[in-house]
Amino acid sequence: MVFDCLKNAEQYFPLGEKIEKALRYLSNTDFTNVEPGTYEIDGENIFAIVQEYNTKPSSSAKWEAHKKYIDIQYMISGKEKMGFTDSRKVIVLQEYHENKDLILYKGEGNFLIAEEGHFAIFYPTDIHMPQLALNIPKEVKKVVVKVRTDFVAESKHSVETDVNLEQENSSPTVEE
């Protein structure tokens, strides 16, 4: 998980080409008059969902995670509490739904306050709880940029392959 102000987005460009493209989109777009909806950035690889909603009490929220997409959640206006936790502190409430790219959990975690100009990057291993009211529900405007995670799996696979090749090509040496 990453949490920072959008003015520092450039620091996170090394996280990958798709992350950089998503953060540049957020930095270069004035969302003031952008209507709620889905906006294509790079086909199914990167797209933005602009949302306007009232935050909700923690008691009515659920922990969530995704497998196919990384979430970059950026607060355009208002503020909300966001939860984050790991798998040791939750149990599965609803199994993975392929079409929604969503797993729901119940459990415990930590919280931070995201204000206008803040963003959070939630990777598939980052179980999170967005859209929470600080005290009473208030209206917010937020954009969630979805970044496909294929490149994460591919880079992990290539590292494993390189390690396997090194093991195959190295012959054990015996010292006498």
Domains of the chain: 2-149 (2.60.120.370)
* pLDDT above 90: residue 152: no
Percent of the chain's residues with pLDDT above 90? 85
Which amino acid is it at 124? P
Give me the pLDDT at residue 127, please: 97
Sort 124 into a burial class: Cβ within 10 Å, 0-12 / 13-18 / 19+: middle
Arithmetic mean of pLDDT, 136-145: 97
Residue 167 has pLDDT above 90, yes or no: no
Q: How far apart are CA 149 and CA 106, in angstroms?
A: 24
Answer yes or no: is pLDDT of 147 > 90. Answer: yes
Q: Structure pTM?
A: 0.83
Note the pLDDT of residue 120: 98
For the cut 60, the answer to whether the pLDDT of residue 170 exceeds it is: no
H-type alpha helices, the chain: 17-28, 150-169
d(CA 17, CA 6): 17
Quick: pLDDT tens for 67-87. Answer: 999 999 999 999 999 999 999
